[in-house]
Amino acid sequence: MNLQLVLEQVLNGAQLGVTLFLMAAGLTLIFGIMNLVNLAHGSFYMVGAYLAVTFYHWTGSLVLGVLLALPATMLVGVVIEVIALRTLYQRDHLDQVLATFGLILFFNELIAIVWGRVGLYTNLPDWLSGTVQFGEAFGYPLYRLVIIAVGVGVAAALWYLVARTRLGMLVRAGASNRTMVAALGVNIRLLYTLVFGFGAALAGLAGAMAAPIYSVQPGMGDPVLIQAFVVIAIGGIGSIRGALAGALIVGMVDTLGRAFLKPALATLISPPAAQSAGPALASMLIYLLMAAVLALRPEGLFPARGH
Amino acid sequence: MRFGRRRIALIALVLLLAAAPPVAVLVGQPFYVDLLRRVMIFAIAAVSLDLILGYGGMVSFGHAAYLGVGAYAVTILAVYGVNDGLLQWAVAIGAAMLLALAIGAISVRTSGIYFIMITLAFTQMLYYLGISLDVYGGDNGMRLPMRSQFGGLIDLGNGTQFYYLVLGLLVLVVLLVRRLAGSRFGMVIRAAKSNEARTRAIGLSPYRYRLAAFVIAGGICGLAGALLINHTAYLTPDIMHWTRSGDILFMVILGGIGSTVGPVFGALVLLVLENALSNWTEHWQIILGPLLVLVVLFARRGLASLLWRGEEDA
Amino acid sequence: MPEPLLEVRGLSKSFGALRATDEVLLDVLEGETHAIIGPNGAGKTTLISQLAGDLRPDAGRIRFAGEDITVLDAATRSRRGFARSFQITSVYRDFTALDNVALAVQAHAGHSFRFWRPARSDAELRAPARAVLEQVGLGARADVPAANLAHGEQRQLEIAMAIATRPRLLLLDEPVAGMGAEESQRMVRLLTGLKGRETMILVEHDMDAVFTLADRISVLVYGRIIATGTAAEIRANPEVRAAYLGED
B121, B128, B133: residue with CB nearest A229? B121
CB B285 within 8 A of CB A109: yes
Identify the H or E element spanning A85.
Answer: none
Q: Domain span at residue B15?
A: 5-239
Q: Where are the domains of chain C?
A: 1-81+168-248, 92-166
Chain B residue with CA closest to A103: the answer is B289
Q: Is the pLDDT of residue C30 over 70?
A: yes
The CA dihedral of C109, C115, C118, C124, to the nearest 10 degrees, is -20
Does any CB of chain B come closer than 8 Å to the CB of residue C87? no
Contacting residues of B for A108, CB less than 8 Å apart: 285
d(CA B299, CA A31): 25
Q: Is B32 on the interface with C (CB under 8 A)?
A: no
**Cα three-residue angle B63-B64-B68, rounded to 5 degrees:** 130
Q: Report the C-alpha gap between A204 and A307 in whole angstroms.
A: 27
Tell me chain C's radius of gyration from C-alpha atoms: 18
> What is the enclosing helix (H) or strand (E) of C44?
helix C44-52
* Mean pLDDT of the B238-254 span: 91
Angle, helix A142-164 to helix A166-176, in steps of 10 degrees: 70
Is B184 within 8 Å of C90 when comparing Cβ atoms? Answer: no
| Chain C residues closer than 8 Å to B202 by CB | 78, 83, 103-104, 107-108, 161, 165
pTM for this model (two decimals) = 0.90
Q: Hey, what amino acid is at A287?
A: Y
Identify the residue among A31, A287, A301 best suited for mutation to test binding to B, counting B beta carbons within 10 A and taking the highest.
A287
pLDDT of residue A1: 56
Are the C-beta atoms of residues B62 and B265 closer than 8 Å to each other?
Answer: no
Q: List CB contacts (< 8 A) between A301 and chain B.
A: none
Chain B partners of A38 at a C-beta cutoff of 8 Å?
A: none
pLDDT tens-digit readout, A239-276: 888 899 999 999 999 999 988 888 888 788 777 777 77
Cross-chain CB nearest to C103 (options B182, B183, B187): B187
For residue A190, the SS3 value is helix
Please, what is the average pLDDT of chain A? 87
Answer left, alpha or beta for residue C129, where phi above 0 means left and psi between -120 and 50 means alpha.
alpha
Specify whether the backbone of B185 is left (phi greater than 0), alpha (psi in -120 to 50) or beta: alpha
Q: How confident is the model at residue A175 (pLDDT cuts 50, 70, 90)?
A: low
The confidence score (pLDDT) of residue B310 equals 44
Enumerate the residues of chain B whose CB falls inside 8 A of the CB of residue C54: 197
Q: Which residue of B has its CA nearest to C76?
A: B203
Inter-chain residue contact C106 with B185, CB threshold 8 Å = no
Interface test with B, best of A94, A232, A265, A307 (most B CBs within 10 A): A94
Above 60 in pLDDT, residue A306? no
CB–CB contact C112 B198 (8 Å):
no
Does chain A reach chain C with at least 3 CB pairs under 8 Å? no
Alpha helices in chain A (DSSP H): 3-34, 41-59, 62-80, 93-115, 142-164, 166-176, 178-183, 188-210, 221-235, 240-268, 271-296
- Would you call C123 an interface residue with chain B, using a CB distance cutoff of 8 Å? no
Closest CA to B2 of C105, C115, C118, C149: C118
pLDDT of residue B312: 45
Query: How many domains, chain B?
Result: 1
Beta-sheet pairing, B234-235 with C6-15: unpaired
DSSP H/E element including B174: helix B159-182
* 3-state SS assignment for residue A99: helix
Closest B-chain CA to C116: B183
Residue of B nearest to A116 (CA): B283
Helical H runs in B59-158?
Answer: 64-79, 85-107, 112-132
What's the CA angle centered on B290, arms B289 and B292, to 5 degrees?
A: 70
Query: What CA–CA distance (Å, rounded) separates B116 from B54?
Result: 15
Residue B314: what pLDDT? 40
How many angstroms separate the CA atoms of A285 and A279, rounded? Answer: 10
Hey, are the CB atoms on C92 and B184 less than 8 Å from each other?
no
| Rounded mean pLDDT, A279-283 | 83
For testing contact with chain C, the best of B176, B178, B179, B187 (most C CBs within 10 A):
B187
Nearest neighbour of A230 by CB, restricted to B121, B246, B253? B121
Q: A276: helix, coil or strand?
A: helix
pLDDT tens for each residue of A78-114: 999 999 888 888 888 888 999 999 999 999 999 999 9
SS3 C14: strand
What pLDDT is attached to residue A35?
84
Asked if the Cβ–Cβ distance from C78 to B202 is below 8 Å, we say yes
Domain C1-81+168-248 indexed as CATH 1.10.3720.10:
no
Contacts of B185 in chain C (CB under 8 A): 112-115
> Does the pLDDT of residue B293 top 60, yes or no?
yes
Q: How many helices (H) and strands (E) does chain B have?
A: 13, 2
Q: Which residues of C touch B197 (CB under 8 A)?
A: 54, 86, 90
Q: Are chains C and B touching, using the cut-off of 8 Å on CB pairs and a minimum of 3 such pairs?
A: yes
Segment among B149-153, C9-13, C34-38, C217-221 with least mean pLDDT? B149-153
Q: Which of A188, A281, A204, A155 is nearest to A47 (CA)?
A: A204
Within 8 A by CB and 6+ apart from A27, the residues are A38, A41, A199, A228, A229, A232, A243
Distance CA A254, CA C37 (A): 58
Q: Are strands C59-64 and C18-28 parallel, antiparallel or unpaired?
A: unpaired
pLDDT at A212 > cutoff 70: yes
Confidence of residue B258 (pLDDT cuts 50, 70, 90): confident
| Residue B246 placed within a domain | no
Element (H, E) at B6: helix B5-27
Nearest Cα residue to C18 out of C1, C51, C41: C41
pLDDT at B296: 86
Q: Is B156 in a helix, a strand, or coil?
A: coil
Residue of A nearest to B112 (CA): A93
- Write out chain A residues lying below 8 Å of B138, CB-based: none
Contact between B194 and C94 under an 8 Å Cβ cutoff? The reply is yes
Mean residue pLDDT of chain B comes to: 89
The verdict on A113 touching B (C-beta cutoff 8 Å) is yes
Q: Do the Cβ atoms of A112 and B293 come closer than 8 Å? A: no
Q: What percent of chain A has pLDDT over 90?
A: 48
Residue C99: the pLDDT is 96
10 Å CB burial of residue A90 (0-12, 13-18, 19+) is: exposed
pLDDT above 70 (res A173): no
- Give the chain A residue nearest B57 (alpha carbons): A94
Note the pLDDT of residue B135.
81
User: Could you give the 3-state DSSP secondary structure of residue A134?
Assistant: strand
DSSP 8-state class, residue B51: I
Q: Give A41's contacts in chain B (Cβ within 8 Å).
A: none
The pLDDT, as a whole number, for residue B1 is: 40
Q: Say whether A99 and B296 touch across the interface (CB within 8 A).
A: yes
Question: How far is B37 from B60, CA to CA, in rounded Å?
Answer: 25
The mean per-residue pLDDT over the stretch C4-28 comes to 91
Asked if the C-beta of B187 comes within 8 angstroms of chain C's C-beta atoms, the answer is yes
> Among residues A76, A80, A100, A81, which one has the least CA distance to residue A204?
A76
Chains that touch A (3 or more CB pairs under 8 A): B
Collect all residues with Cβ–Cβ distance below 8 Å to C44 and sequence separation of at least 6.
C36, C38, C203, C220
- Smallest CA-to-CA distance from B254 within B271, B237, B230 is with B271
Q: Cα torsion for A32, A38, A41, A43, to the nearest 10°?
A: -170
Task: Point out the residue among B117, B129, B250 whose CB comes nearest to the CB of A98.
Answer: B250
> What DSSP line would sit under C219-248, residue for residue?
EEETTEEEEEE-HHHHHH-HHHHHHTGGG-
Angle of helix B242-255 relative to helix B112-132, nearest 10 degrees, comes to 130
Q: Which residues of chain C does B201 touch, with a Cβ-Cβ cutoff of 8 Å?
A: 52, 74-75, 78, 83-84, 86, 90
**Residue B70 domain flag:** yes
Cβ atoms of residues C9 and C25 within 8 Å: yes
Beta pairing class for C33-37 and C216-221: parallel
Q: How far does the CA of residue B2 sit from the closest CA of chain A (Å)?
A: 32
Of A232, A288, A291, the CB nearest to B117: A232
Chain A contact set for B121 (CB, 8 A): 226, 229-230, 233, 287, 290
Beta carbons of A276 and B133 less than 8 Å apart = yes
For residues B287-308, average pLDDT:
78
Q: Which member of B185, B195, B198 has the closest CB to residue C115?
A: B185
* Distance (Å, whole) CA A282 – CA A289: 11
**Nearest CA-CA distance, residue B279 and chain A, Å:** 16
Strand-pairing partners, residue C221, are: C224
Query: Would you state the pLDDT for residue B89?
Result: 96
Secondary structure (DSSP) of A235-260: H-TT-HHHHHHHHHHHHHHHHHHHHH
Q: Which residues of B220-247 are buried (b: 16+ CB within 10 A; e: fewer)?
A: bbbbbbbbbbbbbebbbbbbbbbbbbbb
Q: Write out pLDDT tens, residues A32-49.
A: 888 898 999 999 999 999
Q: List, for residues B58-110, the tens digit of each pLDDT value.
A: 999 999 999 999 999 999 999 999 999 999 999 999 999 999 999 999 999 88
b/e burial code for range A265-302 (CB count within 10 A of at least 16 → b):
bbeeeeeeebeebbbbbbbbbbbebbbebbeeebbbbb
Is C114 an 8 Å CB contact of chain B? yes
pLDDT, residue B311, reads 42
Say if CB C11 and CB C47 are below 8 A apart: yes
Q: Is the ipTM of this complex over 0.85?
A: yes
Q: Is residue B212 predicted with pLDDT exceeding 90? A: yes
Closest Cβ opposite residue B59 in set A97, A284, A291: A97
**Beta-carbon separation of B202 and C107 below 8 A:** yes
Domain boundaries defined on chain A: 3-218
Separation in Å, CA of B162 to nearest CA in chain A? 32
Chain C contact probe: residue of B175, B184, B208 with most C CBs at under 10 A: B184
Radius of gyration, CA atoms only, chain A: 20
Question: Given an 8 Å threshold on Cβ–Cβ distance, is C118 in contact with B195?
Answer: no
Say if the Cβ atoms of B191 and C103 lie within 8 Å. Answer: yes
